Chains A and B, each alone.
Chain A
Amino acid sequence: MPLETFKASDSLTMGVELELQLVNSHDFDLSSSANDLLELLRRKPFPGTVTPEMTQSMIEIATDVQREHGPLLAQLQAIRDTLVHAGDRLNIELAGGGTHPFQRWFEQRIFSKPRFQELSGLYGYLAKQFTVFGQHVHIGCASPDEALFLLHSLNRYVPHFIALSASSPFSQGVDTLFDSARLNSVFAFPLSGRAPFVLSWDEFANGYFTKMESTGVVKSMKDFYWDIRPKPEYGTIELRVCDTPLTVERAAALACYLQALCRHLLERNEPPPEEDDYLVYTYNRFQACRFGLDGMMVNPKTREQISIREDVLATLRKLGPHAQALNSMAALDEIERTAARTGNHATFLRNRFKESGSVQAVVRASVEALRSGPV
């Protein structure tokens, strides 16, 4: 089946998807409760969409198409409140965070939908190790070529999003020393990584995709686990490297940082993307996963080393006017605060562990952060 046509949408519209953890309230382990929660949520209108995910201990929520920070944040908060209220009625807690700090994957129950069964049959333990929780941000594109241009122009900023959103320092009960341990699980999949460097949709759809499809390796865009991938049926590009932050406030800020960045890139004042940009891509990505904002990235154009924190702050200075135009000053303030002062949520979680010495207290802190907002 050929790749479907790219359904154009309004430039710089955005949508956010969050994968959230369901944990029990006694020992804060993951709780296979998605069916129960969805059953209860079905009874009332939901301020967005909510769907089951790979395992019973995860649900995914999504916003409508949004244009500005204010309404996006309001919808995310309404979704959160609805979920938390439903969770309270069922004695289920919800939390953000890219990994659950101490769950053991072999104890998780996989959701009974056929596609998930098929995936777990194919990937074996990888499918269960894939019990990780990400934020996906969609940005609307007016044309498929604009989508590919943005997708490749964003490559040098991918470390920013990894470092800013990183909230998965713990896995299987230990500190991994990574700020985002989650992405290590994602990289294990054969079709993860970066999209091929193609800037014309015609070449992408009729060349690359058709060839890939004829190998039998992929059937649809869903089979690619790329860091950024085009989503033709929505007319968007989808950034998939972010860990789910601990708060919806941070999630909204990250989406608006991406939106402002795209507006900046679409002015085409930066040097155009090229294949050689990807020479440093996996190195930079590793630095962001491992060290977060303290990681050192190489600028693909100038070949200079700079800390990710510095690069974020420098980028923010360029984005001021765009934030003005997009009404997202508050969002960029939060990004600035994160980079310059408070640090990402991985730091927050490590501090909670230092205070308490208990990974369960770390999950409790995540639960409370989602409930009560900014940390």
Chain B
Amino acid sequence: MSTDFVFLLQAVAWPLVLLLAWFVGERLHERWQVPRVTSYVGVGLLGGLVNLPGLTTDIPGLPFLANVALSLVLFELGYRINLRWFRHNPWVLLQGVLESIATFGLIYWVTGWLNLPIDQRLIIAALSVSASPAGVVRVANELRSAGQATERVLHLCAINCALAVLALKLVVGYWHLSTSGDLVMAAFGSVHVVATSVAMGGLLGVVVPWLLRFRASQARDMTVVFALSVLLLTTAAYGLRLSPLLAALAFGIVARERRVHLTNAQRDFGTAGDLLAVFLFVYIASLLDWAQVASTLWLGVLLIAVRTASKVAFGLAAARLSGITERKGVLTGLALTPMSAFAILLLEQSRLMGFEPAVAVLSVLTGMMLLQELLGPVITQRALRAARETHVTKE
């Protein structure tokens, strides 16, 4: 009888926590306009704290599901990227690339004060380059935000994410080289993963729109096709040990270039997207180990300060050159604060592929992730509001 009960509790723990997260998200959003994703994270953290049965990393399939959820977000982010814009306004691209390099360098330098091993410092630096597409896209859509800050946050986020994956894969390659001396393995760990992931996403971005041409009626919404394609892409990337996130981003970018039209009624992939987002944020939060929080909190504060300073400084420096006010430049930098979901899933995936330092890095970064997850979306929300780009604008 008691084993039945434990089994039942394990089985329903996840759905119950997700339901709770949804309710809390709606309530706090109505009450104090707390971004919904922040509430999901909060509930996930509490779930991790009380160590709910079933809320562990050991359940197979959950990391995959989380990757699907994030891949959908990355597809949507990719779909919003206008490559031609970079030609008309190279400053935006330049800002993204230079800021990524500077952030990498700064974080690597700062972590040097703290007696961390070099491979960990490199990984932390690579992850700090990224910005969380899930946090940024969900918050921007929730606010129905539109304008230069929003547009730039999304484009810079995509650049940051692509470069973060690249940097991490190079670090992994370097690690393989230094531990095994196997150059082939090292090359496989970096260049191959990045190039093949992009190529696979890009290929699907050409094939799917081409197949859609053969429909008799163009009227039906195509969101389902793209959601299923993202699922296919994620599965394939898993099987081939590629980066599902990078592939999904490339898929979105190419699909847009192929002039596919997704209706705005299906932002965030509609109801399915909402469902997966609740899961994603709760899951990510539950991965954090509370035992590490106290000891890593100060490191977290330091890293966040340096990373934010870098993004804001570049936002400010590029503002006038790229055609916006300094104020919006600063707000753009601030809005890029969230980084957790993307970084954690990247680490998770590296761990699954046998990259040993990933586990240690996740525990070192616990404090940073905790703060970023909870506060990042709030900062993005406040920044976009301050830029007066949200639908409900207080004058």
Interface, chain A (partner B; CB < 8 A): 24-29, 31-33, 35-36, 39-40, 86, 88-91, 107, 109, 112, 356-358, 360-361, 364
Least CB distance from B327 to A in Å reads 10
Interface membership of B27, Cβ < 8 A: no
Our count of residue pairs bridging A and B at CB distance below 8 angstroms stands at: 68
- Using CB atoms, name the residue of chain A closest to B388: A35
In the bound complex, residues from chain A placing their C-beta under 8 Å from that of B270 are none
**A26 and B263 within 8 A (CB):** no
Which residues of chain B (207-221) have a CB below 8 Å from chain A?
217-219
Partner of B147, one of A35, A86, A89, A357: A35
In the bound complex, residues from chain B placing their C-beta under 8 Å from that of A109 are 146, 391, 393
- Using CB atoms, name the residue of chain B closest to A25: B82
In the bound complex, residues from chain B placing their C-beta under 8 Å from that of A36 are 147-148, 324, 328
Interface membership of B33, Cβ < 8 A: no
Interface membership of B109, Cβ < 8 A: no
Given A29-B264, A107-B144, A107-B391: A91 and B217 interface contact (C-beta under 8 Å):
no
In the bound complex, residues from chain B placing their C-beta under 8 Å from that of A29 are 264
Interface membership of B261, Cβ < 8 A: yes
Least CB distance from A352 to B in Å reads 12
Apart from A32-B389, A107-B391, A358-B218, what are 4 other A-B pairs with CB-CB below 8 Å? A24-B146, A26-B256, A36-B324, A90-B151
In the bound complex, residues from chain A placing their C-beta under 8 Å from that of B262 are 27
Interface membership of B79, Cβ < 8 A: yes
Given A26-B79, A26-B80: A39 and B324 interface contact (C-beta under 8 Å):
yes
- Using CB atoms, name the residue of chain B closest to A358: B261
Which 4 pairs of residues, A with B, have the shortest CB-CB distance? Answer: A357-B218, A88-B88, A360-B261, A36-B148
- Using CB atoms, name the residue of chain A closest to B324: A36
- Using CB atoms, name the residue of chain A closest to B152: A91
Interface, chain B (partner A; CB < 8 A): 79-80, 82, 85, 88-89, 144, 146-148, 151, 155, 217-219, 256, 259, 261-264, 322-325, 328, 388-389, 391, 393, 395
Determine which residue in B89, B323, B328 has the highest number of CB atoms from chain A within 10 A of its CB, and name it: B323
A107 to B218, CA, bound (A): 25
A91 to B87, CA, bound (A): 11
- Using CB atoms, name the residue of chain B closest to A360: B261
Given A26-B80, A88-B88: A33 and B147 interface contact (C-beta under 8 Å):
yes
In the bound complex, residues from chain B placing their C-beta under 8 Å from that of A112 are 393, 395
A278 to B395, CA, bound (A): 45
A35 to B148, CA, bound (A): 9
- Using CB atoms, name the residue of chain B closest to A39: B325
In the bound complex, residues from chain A placing their C-beta under 8 Å from that of B89 are 88-91
A12 to B388, CA, bound (A): 43
Partner of A32, one of B85, B147, B328: B147
A39 to B80, CA, bound (A): 23
A90 to B86, CA, bound (A): 10
Summarize B's interface: helix, strand, loop or mixed.
Answer: loop
**A89 and B323 within 8 A (CB):** yes
**A40 and B147 within 8 A (CB):** no
**B146 and A31 within 8 A (CB):** yes
A244 to B264, CA, bound (A): 25
A323 to B322, CA, bound (A): 46
Least CB distance from A103 to B in Å reads 9
In the bound complex, residues from chain A placing their C-beta under 8 Å from that of B151 are 24, 90-91
Given A25-B85, A27-B261: A357 and B219 interface contact (C-beta under 8 Å):
yes
- Using CB atoms, name the residue of chain A closest to B267: A27
Determine which residue in A86, A90, A107 has the highest number of CB atoms from chain B within 10 A of its CB, and name it: A90
**A32 and B263 within 8 A (CB):** no
**A27 and B264 within 8 A (CB):** yes
In the bound complex, residues from chain B placing their C-beta under 8 Å from that of A358 are 218, 261
A28 to B262, CA, bound (A): 10
In the bound complex, residues from chain A placing their C-beta under 8 Å from that of B323 are 40, 86, 89-90
Given A35-B147, A35-B388: A360 and B393 interface contact (C-beta under 8 Å):
no
Q: Can you list 17 A-B pairs with a CB-CB distance of less than 8 A?
A: A26-B79, A27-B264, A31-B146, A33-B147, A36-B324, A40-B323, A88-B85, A89-B89, A89-B322, A89-B323, A90-B89, A91-B82, A91-B155, A109-B146, A112-B395, A358-B261, A360-B261
- Using CB atoms, name the residue of chain A closest to B390: A109
A369 to B246, CA, bound (A): 35
A282 to B261, CA, bound (A): 39
Least CB distance from A40 to B in Å reads 5
A31 to B151, CA, bound (A): 11
Given A25-B82, A109-B393: A360 and B263 interface contact (C-beta under 8 Å):
yes
In the bound complex, residues from chain B placing their C-beta under 8 Å from that of A28 are 261
In the bound complex, residues from chain B placing their C-beta under 8 Å from that of A40 are 323-324
- Using CB atoms, name the residue of chain A closest to B325: A39
In the bound complex, residues from chain B placing their C-beta under 8 Å from that of A356 are 218
**A361 and B261 within 8 A (CB):** yes
A91 to B92, CA, bound (A): 11
**B261 and A89 within 8 A (CB):** no
In the bound complex, residues from chain A placing their C-beta under 8 Å from that of B389 are 32
In the bound complex, residues from chain A placing their C-beta under 8 Å from that of B256 are 26
A205 to B392, CA, bound (A): 42
- Using CB atoms, name the residue of chain B closest to A24: B146
In the bound complex, residues from chain A placing their C-beta under 8 Å from that of B88 are 88-89, 91
Least CB distance from B289 to A in Å reads 39
Partner of B146, one of A33, A88, A89: A33
A357 to B389, CA, bound (A): 31
- Using CB atoms, name the residue of chain B closest to A86: B323
In the bound complex, residues from chain A placing their C-beta under 8 Å from that of B148 are 33, 36, 90
Given A24-B146, A91-B85: A357 and B217 interface contact (C-beta under 8 Å):
yes
Least CB distance from B28 to A in Å reads 24
Least CB distance from A301 to B in Å reads 47
A107 to B79, CA, bound (A): 21
In the bound complex, residues from chain B placing their C-beta under 8 Å from that of A26 are 79-80, 82, 256
In the bound complex, residues from chain B placing their C-beta under 8 Å from that of A24 are 146, 151
Least CB distance from B363 to A in Å reads 39
In the bound complex, residues from chain B placing their C-beta under 8 Å from that of A88 are 85, 88-89
In the bound complex, residues from chain B placing their C-beta under 8 Å from that of A89 are 88-89, 322-323
In the bound complex, residues from chain A placing their C-beta under 8 Å from that of B155 are 91
